[in-house]
Amino acid sequence: MTTFQEAREQGIGSNFMVLNPADGFRKDNSLWFGKCAECGEHVAHSYHTQAWTHTIYEYQEWFSKEAFDKGMPANHSRSRQADYCPKVAGEVVDTVRYYKDGDTKVLIDNLLDN
């Protein structure tokens, strides 16, 4: 049986491995980050959830095309945490992404990489 600390430090997820697991530099050492070896998404490991989790976005909104083009974080989004890799599980993730142009919402191609 793998302990909590071993799973975190060795990057062992429920159905995926984590590349370069690293301490999130919190004083209490409770948050770690890495990259999923299967899909390339950023993943996090919290002492509170005690598992490596993916953030799966339902939608993301940027206030301008410039902000999206610069790779800035979305201004609004809705997401959920999953303790598995959606790609390995065969789950299709259709994130709706759009930016605002004045009062108009412009849909961004759903097939863009994160």
| Cα separation, 88 vs 99, whole angstroms | 30
| Cα separation, 2 vs 13, whole angstroms | 11
| Cα separation, 61 vs 59, whole angstroms | 7
| Cα separation, 7 vs 43, whole angstroms | 13
Identify the pLDDT of residue 1: 58
Asked whether residue 109 carries a pLDDT value surpassing 90, the answer given is no
Residues belonging to the chain: 114
Contact 97, 106 (CB under 8 A): no
| Cα separation, 43 vs 82, whole angstroms | 10
Highest mean pLDDT among 5-9, 19-23, 84-88, 108-112: 84-88
13-27, 60-74, 76-90: which has the minimum mean pLDDT?
13-27
Average the pLDDT over 66-80 and give the result.
92
Q: Which two tokens stand for residue 110?
A: 């759903």
| Cα separation, 77 vs 65, whole angstroms | 16
Asked whether residue 77 carries a pLDDT value surpassing 90, the answer given is yes
pTM: 0.69
Identify the pLDDT of residue 82: 92
Average the pLDDT over 46-71 and give the result.
90
Contact 58, 79 (CB under 8 A): yes
